Amino acid sequence: DTGVSQDPRHKITKRGQNVTFRCDPISEHNRLYWYRQTLGQGPEFLTYFQNEAQLEKSRLLSDRFSAERPKGSFSTLEIQRTEQGDSAMYLCASSFFRTQYNEQFFGPGTRLTVL
């Protein structure tokens, strides 16, 4: 399968713990995006990278959140000191900038439950 992959698919953690999610984009895609989707809502943008550079961050991305994309390949999203309000689906998408539409392809998501 050459699509966007995310790991883990599900994560249950206790409040106050740190969690880290991984996203592997489609090979050769130079842009990578993170979105958060709460139950019954549309995804909300968190941040995106072009290669290894983080170009934009949403105000939703509090100080407890950090994202990296070392070497411009896979990306990690870490949440420190998790809160119950962090419970959501975290979606990753990738695209190839410079194509006509720069279409974003989504991964299956990581569902986080904070107890």
Partner 1 sequence: AQTVTQSQPEMSVQEAETVTLSCTYDTSESDYYLFWYKQPPSRQMILVIRQEAYKQQNATENRFSVNFQKAAKSFSLKISDSQLGDAAMYFCAYRRRETSGSRLTFGEGTQLTVNP
Contacts to partner 1 by CB under 8 A = 3-4, 31, 33, 35, 40-45, 48, 55-56, 58, 91, 95, 97, 101-104, 106-109
56/68 with CB nearer partner 1: 56
Largest CA distance in the chain: 44
80/106 with CB nearer partner 1: 106
CB of 19 vs partner 1, minimal distance in Å: 21
Phi and psi of 14, rounded to 5°?
Answer: -95, 150
* Nearest CA among 41, 39, 30, 20 for reference residue 105: 30
25/109 with CB nearer partner 1: 109
CB of 81 vs partner 1, minimal distance in Å: 26
Dist CA 45 CA 32 (whole Å): 12
Dist CA 5 CA 41 (whole Å): 22
Dist CA 27 CA 37 (whole Å): 25
Enumerate the β-bridge partners of residue 22: 7, 76
CB of 89 vs partner 1, minimal distance in Å: 10
CB of 102 vs partner 1, minimal distance in Å: 6
78/103 with CB nearer partner 1: 103
